[in-house]
Amino acid sequence: MPFHSSHLSFLFQKAMGKRRSASPSLRHSLWLVISISSFLFIFAILRLQYQPRHLPSARRPIVPFVGTPKIAFLFLARNNLPLDFLWQSFFQSADEDKFSVYIHSRPGFVFDESSTKCAFFYGRQLSKSVEVLWGESSMIQAEQLLLEAALQDHANQRFVLISDSCVPMYNFSYIYNYVMSSSKSFVDSFLDTKEGRYNPKMLPTIPKGKWRKGSQWITLVRRHAEIVVDDDLVFPIFKRYCKRRPPLDLDGKLNHQKVVQKEHNCIPDEHYMQTLLAMCDLEDELERRTLTYTEWNQSATKMEGQAWHPITFKYANASPQRINKIKGINHIYYETEYRTEWCQSNGTSVPCFLFARKFSRGAAMRLLSAGMVSPFDAAALLDQIK
């Protein structure tokens, strides 16, 4: 016997207490009400699932800080910090109550007299550190660990990420005043219009409109550092969908499956912070540029079929003229947004870059001897030659 809608309504009437007197039109409207409410119910469930629920904005109370604010220098190292002699000289000319140092290196690496020439690095290695695979989400984890450790000290009000090949191009007081005079973070962030990095599987958590790209080397204000540390919504998505470029097979070719993966090889450290801050609607609180100069070798593209890579400054190409040229840059053009960023800090025109990478030891020594980082210190240089 075929199952009819009249049977359904009969069952329904039984369930409703055998109200056999209900007219056909009443029955009809009851059905209508039930269908509409089930639809609304399903719609509400879907909406709940598709709404970002845990964006970490404003989770912690804002506690105003009284006292001398510090800049936390957060070093991301593979092993040691080869430009330690330069940082020694840099920090030596600084007020000790205006900065702090945190280092993330490979687990087990200890900074002491035997491993570094910079006394400010002694014992500053995080006790909790992770094995970092360059270009993978473990890099972001290392950055989160650095921020988390530095947030413990309430005097830390700015957080600067520094690589092991990065140098300051100014003395401490100049950098301190520049960074502190702005209430904004410095985060290079722009629309990434090229297909391939954004993975549609990141929907609905990460909408395509919030996908950003930019330099890994950022400076954050305290509230933004808290947001990065508290994020348990966006980071897991990056961890899941952002993998580094697949390795070549033994015969030097990519197999097909790996090529498919590569289409969404999104390199978390060039996207995560920018995208998270955009998702939290905080772009008004950013100077959307980096403070760290990187020079790209464009000729490498065609020759090796790989992405641009940064040029390493050596003694020969780190002349004072070259450095001064970098220091003279006062604007940056962002092609994907047709945006020219005239570099400012708290509304005043400033040079765009305070730091530069990648520097060899020879190039760093030349910078030191030119007296750019601290008053010229012959003793420090002699110490290097010994």
Ligand X SMILES: *[C@@H]1O[C@H](CO)[C@@H](O)[C@H](O)[C@H]1NC(C)=O
* Residue 86 C-beta: closest distance to ligand X, Å: 15
- Angstrom distances, CA of residue 233 to CA of 2, 51, 229: 49, 11, 11
Distance CA 370, CA 379 (A): 14
- Nearest distance from residue 76's CB to ligand X, in Å? 22
CA distances from 197 to 139, 213, 245, 263, 268 (A): 17, 9, 11, 7, 10
Cα–Cα distances (Å) from 334 to 230, 235, 300, in that order, read 30, 26, 22
| HEC per residue, 271-296 | CHHHHHHHHCCCHHHEECCCCEEECE
Task: Determine the Cα–Cα distance for residues 299 and 85; give it in Å rounded to an integer.
Answer: 32
Tokens representing 245 are: 């470029």
**φ, ψ dihedrals at 165, nearest 5°:** -115, 20
Strands (E), the chain: 70-76, 99-104, 156-163, 167-168, 185-186, 190-191, 212-213, 219-221, 286-287, 292-294, 296-297, 309-310, 331-334, 339-342, 344-345, 348-349, 355-357
Tell me whether residue 102 or residue 186 sits nearer to ligand X (CB atom): 186
Q: Which is nearer to ligand X, 24 or 64 (CB)?
A: 64
Q: How far is the CB of 364 from ligand X (least distance, A)?
A: 17
Touching ligand X, residues 154-193 (CB under 6 A):
170-171, 173-174, 181, 183
CB of 80 to ligand X, least distance (A): 24
Residue 64 found at the interface with ligand X (CB under 6 A): no
- Determine how β-strand 348-349 pairs with β-strand 344-345: antiparallel
Q: CA geometry: angle at 56 spanning 51 and 57, to 5°?
A: 100
Give the list of residues 6+ apart from residue 78 with CB closer than 8 angstroms, or none. 105, 106, 132, 164
Q: What minimum distance in Å lies between the beta carbon of 187 and ligand X?
A: 18
Which amino acid would we find at residue 116? T
CA separation for the pair 301, 285 (Å, rounded): 35
Shortest distance, CB of residue 299 to ligand X, whole angstroms?
Answer: 5
Quick count: other Cβ atoms within 10 Å of Cβ 141? 18
Q: Which is nearer to ligand X, 29 or 346 (CB)?
A: 346
Give the nearer residue to ligand X in terms of CB position, either 51 or 346.
Answer: 346
| 261-300 binders of ligand X (CB under 6 A) | 297, 299-300
Taking the least distance from each CB to ligand X, the nearer of 48 and 378 is 378
CA-based nearest residue to 357, from 212, 217, 242, 190: 217
357-386: which residues touch ligand X (CB under 6 A)?
375
Antiparallel, parallel or unpaired: β 70-76 and 156-163: parallel
Q: Considering beta carbons, is residue 311 or 370 the nearer one to ligand X?
A: 311
Question: Is the CB of 122 or the CB of 174 nearer to ligand X?
Answer: 174
Enumerate residues 300-329 that contact ligand X by CB under 6 A: 300, 303-304, 311
Closer residue to ligand X in complex, CB, 105/219 = 219
For ligand X, give the closer residue by CB, 303 or 379. 303
Contact criterion met (CB below 8 Å) for 216 and 161: yes
Binding-site size for ligand X (CB under 6 A) equals 15
Nearer to ligand X, 193 or 297 (CB): 297
Binding mask 333-352 for ligand X (x = CB under 6 A): -------------xx-----
Residues at the site binding ligand X, with contacts judged by CB under 6 A: 170-171, 173-174, 181, 183, 297, 299-300, 303-304, 311, 346-347, 375
